[in-house]
Structure 1
Amino acid sequence: MDAWIVSLLPAAPVRILDAGCGDGSLAAQLSSLGHDVTAIDLDPGPAHAAGVPARRADMAAYEDDPFDVIVMSLSLHHMHPLGAALDRAAALLAPGGRLVVDEFAWDWADGAAAAWFYDAGVLLGRFDEPVKDPLARWREAHADCTSARDMLAAIDERFAVTGVRRVPYLHRYLEGPARLREIEEVRHVPTGFRLTAVTRVTDGT
């Protein structure tokens, strides 16, 4: 259960959009708490395989009734065009609705973090052999992902940000033991962020 996301939700039931639901695990968890969850993804196959009735949809063009909460968990950096996806999120949120973003900030990783990531990946069997230029490999591998800088700026243009903090992320990427988080937290610049925002209030003028 994602305790951070759950802690931000009003009492059930609320209407939630899981935008970019992946394997559907978060949508299933939120549904189990009594929320009315709609899950969408460009490829809903993994969610369907897990028994989650996700819809095939592009966030940038998605139409629906208003939602109380929109959750983007490790999905916004894959959404293109970024502005269109966030414009739709703003349009789909009910007045006072909440945007919850749990994201990967690949552009914050430095050489030391990249080297640690690939070395740990070799030890865990995620990679076959050591990487000669970890930072170059890292940047090449994530060239198609939107940067944290751009995501944060685009969100700020469209929403009133109520909270943002940097968090470790590489251990999640590696899916390694809990000890990895402790090591990452002590040794490296955080490469993730968690953000909450609400729809902007206008005076109608």
Structure 2
Amino acid sequence: MDLSTVAVPHTLTHLKPLLPAPPARVLEVGCGRGALAAALADEGYEVTGLDRNAEMAAATRERGVPVIQADVHDVSGEYDVVLFTRSLHHAEDLDGILAHAATLLAPSGQIIIEEFAWERVDHAAAEFVYDNCALLVAAGLLTAETPADDLLATWVTGHDRLHQGSAMLAALDRAGSDLTTVETAILWRLLDGRGGAWTEPASRVPDALNALRRAEERRIAAGTLPAVGFLASVRR
């Protein structure tokens, strides 16, 4: 199920204040199926998608976005923004990939990342994820395994092979200057977990996710949930 109609507007809301004005040249690393890249192109940006996966690259191309099927280390060129959207946490060498990204920047260019700091999840945040996941399963909107107890341990076990948010921010800071960060809600986007699948009717799922996003944002504002998501940027 394509949930880009829910996820992309949320990303754009927080991303656009960090971006230079269009028609800046943007390279989106790990563009997936190209939904965000296409939305940025609609905003007037000169966007190039990048993904190693042939299926993802083909889907991006079908949206009318130029795409490169390659590893970022194999890419050359000059861009005003190199954008990593929830792809950096899988990187084998954070410093190496960000150092190469910096070589792709025009003068005064930016590296921007959209990510999540899984290590910030506490008991309340783990309960938010897994209790709401269980509700979605009970409502017939999601098929997924939901743990019965030790929710925080389950979260840590499922994410401890990924880079921590603090490590990504430190590496980004080393790759440029003027580190800027914006905290966001993101747990609502992680409710399907590993191996979960959204069900039909598709029209009900976006409404449910938007309601959960608003609930997460209220709790972050009230201080009862940590802000796990973030965007961050540095300049060349």
TM norm structure 1: 0.87
The answer for the alignment partner of 1:134 in structure 2 is: 151
CA distance, structure 2, for counterparts of residue 196 and residue 67 of structure 1: 14
Q: Does 1:192 pair with 2:229? A: yes
3-state DSSP of counterpart to 1:23: coil
Contact 1:20 1:41 in 2 (8 A): yes
Q: Does 1:38 pair with 2:48? A: yes
From 50, 74, 83, the equivalent of 2:86 is 74
Query: How far apart are residue 117 of structure 1 and its match?
Result: 0.5
The superposition leaves residues 50-78 of structure 1 with CA deviations (integer Å, 9 ceiling, x where unpaired) of 5144322222x132211111111111112
CA distance, structure 1, for counterparts of residue 147 and residue 157 of structure 2: 16
Residues paired across the two proteins, number: 198
Bigger shift: residues 46-55 or 156-165? 46-55
CA distance, structure 2, for counterparts of residue 147 and residue 82 of structure 1: 11
Point out 4+ residue stretches in structure 1 off by more than 4 angstroms: none
The answer for the alignment partner of 1:180 in structure 2 is: 212
CA distance, structure 2, for counterparts of residue 168 and residue 91 of structure 1: 31
* C-alpha distance 112-195 of structure 1, shift in aligned 2 (>3 A): same
Which residue identity is paired with 1:97?
G
Contact 1:17 1:70 in 2 (8 A): yes
TM norm structure 2: 0.76
From 119, 129, 146, the equivalent of 1:107 is 119
Return the structure number with greater helix share: 2
CA distance, structure 2, for counterparts of residue 109 and residue 193 of structure 1: 13
From 43, 49, 56, the equivalent of 2:69 is 56
Which residue identity is paired with 1:57?
A
Contact 1:113 1:189 in 2 (8 A): yes
The superposition leaves residues 140-175 of structure 1 with CA deviations (integer Å, 9 ceiling, x where unpaired) of 111221100110111111111342132221012237
By relative contact order (CA 8 Å, sep 6+), the higher-ranking structure is: 2
CA distance, structure 2, for counterparts of residue 6 and residue 129 of structure 1: 35
Which residue identity is paired with 1:43?
N
Bigger shift: residues 79-88 or 182-191? 182-191
Which residue identity is paired with 2:58?
H
Query: How far apart are residue 182 of structure 1 and its match?
Result: 3.1
CA distance, structure 2, for counterparts of residue 21 and residue 131 of structure 1: 35
Residue segments in structure 2 that go unaligned for 5+ positions in a row:
1-8, 192-205
CA distance, structure 1, for counterparts of residue 82 and residue 50 of structure 2: 11
